[in-house]
Structure 1
Amino acid sequence: MTAIETLPIQATDRPQMQAILHAQQAAFRANPMPSLEQRTHQLKALKAALLNHKTALCEALNQDYGRRSHHDTLIADILPCVAQLNYTLKHLKKWMKPARRHAGLMLTPAKVEVVYQPLGVVGIVVPWNFPVMLSLGPLITALAAGNRAMIKLSEFTPATNQVLRDLLASQFEPETVAVIEGEADIAAAFSALPFDHLLFTGSTQVGRHVMRAAADNLTPVTLELGGKSPALIAPDIPIPLAVERLIYGKSLNAGQICVAPDYVLVPADQHDAFVAEYQKQFQAMYPQGVASNDFTSVINRKQYDRLRAWLADAEQQGAKVIPCHPEARDDEQHRMITHLVLETNEQIQLMQEEIFGPLLPVIPYHSLDEALARIRRQPRPLALYLMSLDPALQQQIKTTTHAGGMCINDAVFHVAADDAPFGGIGPSGMGHYHGKEGFLTFSKAKTVLSRGKFSTGKLITPPYGGWLQKLMLAFFLR
């Protein structure tokens, strides 16, 4: 039995992590360019394992959360991975093909192409809110690009981690895919490993530490962070339609989503109508309020206490809190439905940090210029939502307001677009993955110039000043 064969697919301490990294690096050096057939086999095996474990994953996430809607898990964790696998398998051959480029007259005769090579070993740091999609999603792209991967799972989803370990161990040896678990100290040590690329999904605050740790090894990073994603209700759109398109994005996973609407800007003269309509539609979706099986719990006591403290802080500073259902909270089971927060100010905690939960400030505005100025003076968010049927306004905001991504007359669904990149900007992240852009993120695009027996390069070597060189310079320096 080789040293690699004795490695566990799971590691929980620094020596184990380093041993797995060294084994993956050695395995990569032995096979630095996996074939299309090898990559396709891995992706198909991963898909089969995921489908075989889907029920177990739903049950595990329900256990980790206390109550996690099975449909939230199917729709937002498992379905996106299956769709991504299908899309990747369909397009991978085209992505792997070297791209022909033009050499140009100055380099003629020559052939120029871009070869897409795997980077090596990719590190993936996974948060607790969508532990399936945010572990397997990056893994799909990393394997498609020909890499090996080490995955640091969240310590807050132990039951789900067990299923993911079993799922991955059923198809992959640890020199290809390995799982790391542990508390914050292990996460910090993981980020400091000399990966060939590191992808982190989590908070902006932790993202700074990850980037700092990666810098010591000059490890390139993709950071998928968060921020305060605004939803702008334009004056032209009917309020019932605006709420219908917005509400699911805040209800899914109890708002514990990096791209969830974080606050709503609504015309002042439609403010009360928005609040009433939001309550009405919420109660239609979740008629039992906090007892509804379809509404997911807050992940744990720590996060629940944070949200309660932020609500109390808002009320102490004069805000008005409106639960969307009479059955609004279950403190024992850390369950909380959406609460609308009105009459806010910039000083309350809810307006200072990303909420990441079922609280939604509603802020009136008197002109679109006022609303847009408010959005633009804030740090650039991961997502921006516009509810408007006005094409001119849609075009204006698409081109003049920055965000990682945007939905018009919808919320959060842009993340599910397989044929488009996903990523933040500024404090909401850097870099992209998903689709072809993900393949490129985890690949080295290497330019290769090839010549045959004849080369014009000899014509420009010293000694300088010959008539042919003068003629060439005169021709090209025009």
Structure 2
Amino acid sequence: MTDARALQARLDQQRNAFATEPFPSAATRRDRLARLANMTRHHRDEIAQAIHQDFGHRAEAETRLAEVFPLLQAVRHARRHLKRWMRPRRASVPWRLQPARARIHRQPLGVVGIIAPANYPWSLALLPAVDALAAGNRVMIKPSEQTPTTSALLAQLAERYFAPEELCVMTGDADTARAFAALPFDHLLFTGSARIGRDVARAAAANLTPVTLELGGKTPAIVADDADLAHAARRIAFGKWLNAGQTCIAPDHVLIDAARLPAFIEAIRGAVKAFYPQGTASDDYSAVLGEGARRRLEGVLDEARDHGCRVIELGERQPLDQGKKLPPILVVDPTANLSIMQEEVFGPWLPVIGVGDFEAALARVANGPSPLALYAFTDDPKRRQRLLEKSRSGGVVFNDTLWHYTVPALPFGGIGESGLGAYQGEAGFLRFSHQRSVFLQARHNAVGLLDPPYRKWLLRLLGL
């Protein structure tokens, strides 16, 4: 375990290094980003093996798709656009102050702390680091204690590819995470549950440390009456059961016209069969991480059964003490008071709820907490526009799920209960930069006329 003194010592080391190079050149930043990509590209097999060991089983293709691919793409995007992002921006000056000039300098913050979750232990630790390094900062990462093998590999490789004053990984348990959150970073990014996010925000507030919180929530998928059910079912199934539902932007529940609910259930059944022909025994179907998470999910499901919900299992079950894989399961029409509708599912259970129509589904989403993502299956432009105007969410995807996360030019972040702030691409560069105002007064100017004693005629002329 890394103790508080060691954490503070490493922060001091990075802060001192930043003081000697407070505005790294584009070449330096590109080099750091290239090393981050090489660290991932050259060791992708070791990364997949470590994550597989921590999960009990993680489909290798899912690790490549969700851990390796987004990182390499983010680095490529940042390196390509870095000079433009770094360039000072001109700002318009009111005519009363001309011929003065103004511009905005994008200045590195200093040292950025990242607290990463367990569900995607590689990409969610390093994607924020891409933005922080592009912005010219030093980076400290606290990976999850729930994935010890992956965290150890990340620390080992970071030490090989980076000087500790550039980027470092501090492993440890929950006490280490609490001490990490209490450090006086220049910015702190946390990805995880809302409950722990509140604790992180309180710890950061003691130092007036700005925070970015990526918290997830209950992401809905609306299937309108004009949607192709087979297509909607296939895309929802992909988004839901990737990583066995342990994705912060996975479809949490489906809202569909009640009349189409039986047909949708059959379409989902067919999609799951096509994706995982051997059920939970398929190598492409991942395990649920941690006994505590599996027991929580079983408890949520038992409650739904006890309250009369129809439960449809789409794969063979394994006894909890004999395997770590939980099958895809549909929970039909759960009531709002049940745990499965009160808290983020974060697993392979999918509530499917029949509603009156698209407007009823939209009203339900608009009146609930703002989710991290919102999925809608409709080809009607008017419905799409209405959804954009009447709802709030971190992101919106039409006729698909998840893939907006892999577009580096799109900001990624929540709103309200689902998070605070966004990163990725230029939005991430700005998140980890200070927008410094610069005002350059011309040698010959007229502002001296505004010095005391004040001239009333001049104030009237200026409309003051």
Shorter chain as denominator, the TM-score bin is over 0.9
Q: Distance in 2 between matches of 1:334 and 1:315?
A: 21
Q: RMSD of the alignment, in Å? A: 1.2
| Greater than 6 Å deviation, 4+ residue runs | none
Q: Distance in 1 between matches of 2:100 and 2:25?
A: 27
What are the ranges of 5 or more consecutive residues in structure 2 without an aligned counterpart?
Answer: none
Q: Which amino acid aligns with 1:475?
A: L
Equivalent in the alignment of 1:4: none
The yes-or-no answer on 1:418 pairing with 2:414 is: no
Q: Distance in 2 between matches of 1:351 and 1:46?
A: 39
The yes-or-no answer on 1:93 pairing with 2:83 is: yes
Q: Distance in 2 between matches of 1:168 and 1:459?
A: 59
The yes-or-no answer on 1:58 pairing with 2:48 is: yes
Secondary structure class of the residue paired with 1:170 = helix
Q: Deviations over 1:199-243 (max 9, x none)?
A: 000011111111111111111111110110100010111211211
Query: Which of 126, 129, 136 is 2:126 aligned to?
Result: 136
Paired residues for 1:262-273 under 5 Å: 262-273=252-263
Q: Which amino acid aligns with 2:240?
A: K
Secondary structure class of the residue paired with 1:222 = strand
How many Å apart are 1:185 and its aligned residue?
1.7
Contact 1:151 1:179 in 2 (8 A): yes
Paired residues for 1:58-207 under 5 Å: 58-207=48-197
Percent pairwise identity: 43
Q: Distance in 2 between matches of 1:247 and 1:463?
A: 73
Q: Distance in 1 between matches of 2:176 and 2:305?
A: 38
Q: Distance in 2 between matches of 1:342 and 1:453?
A: 73
The yes-or-no answer on 1:16 pairing with 2:38 is: no
Equivalent in the alignment of 2:220: 230
Q: Distance in 2 between matches of 1:446 and 1:54?
A: 39
Q: Deviations over 1:422-447 (max 9, x none)?
A: 11000100111001010000000101
Q: Which amino acid aligns with 1:65?
A: F
Q: Deviations over 1:276-302 (max 9, x none)?
A: 110111011101111010000001111
Secondary structure class of the residue paired with 1:419 = coil
Contact 1:233 1:388 in 2 (8 A): yes
Equivalent in the alignment of 1:450: 440
Equivalent in the alignment of 2:241: 251
Secondary structure class of the residue paired with 2:150 = helix
Equivalent in the alignment of 2:318: 329
Q: Which amino acid aligns with 1:177?
A: L
Secondary structure class of the residue paired with 1:329 = coil
Equivalent in the alignment of 1:6: none
Contact 1:131 1:160 in 2 (8 A): yes
Q: Distance in 2 between matches of 1:284 and 1:328?
A: 18
Q: Distance in 1 between matches of 2:408 and 2:292?
A: 34
Equivalent in the alignment of 1:387: 377
Q: Distance in 1 between matches of 2:390 and 2:301?
A: 33
How many Å apart are 1:330 and its aligned residue?
4.8
How many Å apart are 1:399 and its aligned residue?
1.7
TM-score, with normalisation over the residues of structure 2?
0.98
Query: Which of 427, 434, 451 is 1:437 aligned to?
Result: 427
Q: Distance in 2 between matches of 1:135 and 1:402?
A: 27
Q: Distance in 1 between matches of 2:357 and 2:93?
A: 53
The yes-or-no answer on 1:477 pairing with 2:463 is: yes
Q: Which amino acid aligns with 1:308?
A: E
Equivalent in the alignment of 1:408: 398
Q: Distance in 2 between matches of 1:94 and 1:205?
A: 38
Q: Deviations over 1:91-147 (max 9, x none)?
A: 000000011112221111212110011000001000000111111100111000000
Secondary structure class of the residue paired with 1:112 = strand
How many Å apart are 1:420 and its aligned residue?
1.2
How many Å apart are 1:364 and its aligned residue?
0.2
Secondary structure class of the residue paired with 2:104 = strand
Q: Deviations over 1:15-60 (max 9, x none)?
A: 1000001111111111111111111111111111211111100000
Equivalent in the alignment of 2:16: 26
Q: Which amino acid aligns with 2:124?
A: L
Q: Which amino acid aligns with 2:236?
A: L
Contact 2:142 2:180 in 1 (8 A): yes
Q: Distance in 2 between matches of 1:419 and 1:288?
A: 37
Q: Distance in 2 between matches of 1:292 and 1:126?
A: 28
TM-score, with normalisation over the residues of structure 1?
0.95
How many Å apart are 1:367 and its aligned residue?
2.4
Q: Which amino acid aligns with 2:22?
A: P
Q: Which amino acid aligns with 1:477?
A: G
Q: Distance in 1 between matches of 2:44 and 2:361?
A: 43
Q: Distance in 2 between matches of 1:147 and 1:289?
A: 45
Secondary structure class of the residue paired with 1:386 = strand
How many Å apart are 1:464 and its aligned residue?
1.6
Q: Distance in 1 between matches of 2:380 and 2:333?
A: 28
Secondary structure class of the residue paired with 1:195 = coil
Secondary structure class of the residue paired with 1:336 = coil
Equivalent in the alignment of 1:460: 450
Q: Which amino acid aligns with 2:457?
A: K
What are the ranges of 5 or more consecutive residues in structure 1 without an aligned counterpart?
Answer: 1-10
